Amino acid sequence: MNKPKIIFIDLDGTAMDAPAKKWYNKRPSNYTKEVIAKLSKTIPVVVATGRGVNDTTWKIINSLNMSDFIAWNGAQIIRNKEVVHKEIIPASVIEKLYQVLTKNKCWIIFNSNFDHLTFVKRNIFKWILKLRKTDLKLYSEFKNDFPIYKVLASGVRQKKIQKIHDELREIFKDDLEVAFSGSKNLVIEITKKTASKGIAEQNYCKMLGIDPQDAIHIGDSMNDASAKGKVGKLVAMKNSTQKLKDIADEITEYTCDEQGLAKYLEQFL
């Protein structure tokens, strides 16, 4: 590929390179924001994230001077700050999925809403997390009566989470996209089968009249793997999970904390 016509970037572990005490407080550094601002004058740079559409995400998007992004691993496409495409998981599929996850005693989070849509098995977790002002709910409190774009499953040991991951991919192979998130593969992210970063990026390219083969995707975890074969090049951050590095077309020279994204993007200025 010569110079790309559009670049999609992940947030956590990729663009969020400013120092912070907690990973969830990290934000893009001024250096990264400056490089993206310069590059965006000639090549569109678009965020494709597993994060949802909420105030925190919008603050990050606004700090990058963007009005478009792909949320919930492709379950929503936002253009000019308006939702132009969405993929809701059918309620019947959610019902069956919920049974599998509760059977395995997972923590279940809907639509990335950790504070109000996290469901757990035992009261003890509710008591502990009340100290953090997080409103956890018991499994029995779940009501399948709202649009669900993405489900997170976590809270079990690594060997078990791998088994659950494989089970979900088999049971819901025709209905759901199932991928690991994070460098240690301890969180499963679940969206509708037709919702992935790769599919959403293809759709976004079509909206702009760009051939997806002229696009690059840059990320660090297995929810970025769906871009492989869907766009022209998949670039893995140096800090990526090994499974993503194994399939990537290219690996950055530097990690996220070393401002690897901005340093990689500078070649296109």
Per-residue pLDDT of the chain (269 residues; tens, 9 = 90+): 789 999 999 999 999 999 998 888 899 999 999 999 999 999 999 999 999 999 999 999 999 999 999 999 999 999 999 999 999 999 999 999 999 999 999 999 999 998 889 999 876 555 555 555 567 888 999 999 999 999 999 988 888 999 999 999 999 999 999 999 877 788 999 999 999 999 999 999 999 999 999 999 999 999 999 999 999 999 999 999 999 999 999 999 999 999 999 999 999 99
Give me the residue spans of the domains in the chain. 6-87+195-268, 91-192
| Identical fold between 6-87+195-268 and 91-192 | no
Pick the CATH number of 91-192 from 3.30.1240.10, 3.40.50.2300, 3.60.130.10, 3.30.413.10: 3.30.1240.10
Angle, nearest 10°, between helix axes 158-171 and 91-103? Answer: 150
CATH fold, domain 6-87+195-268, is: Rossmann fold (3.40.50)
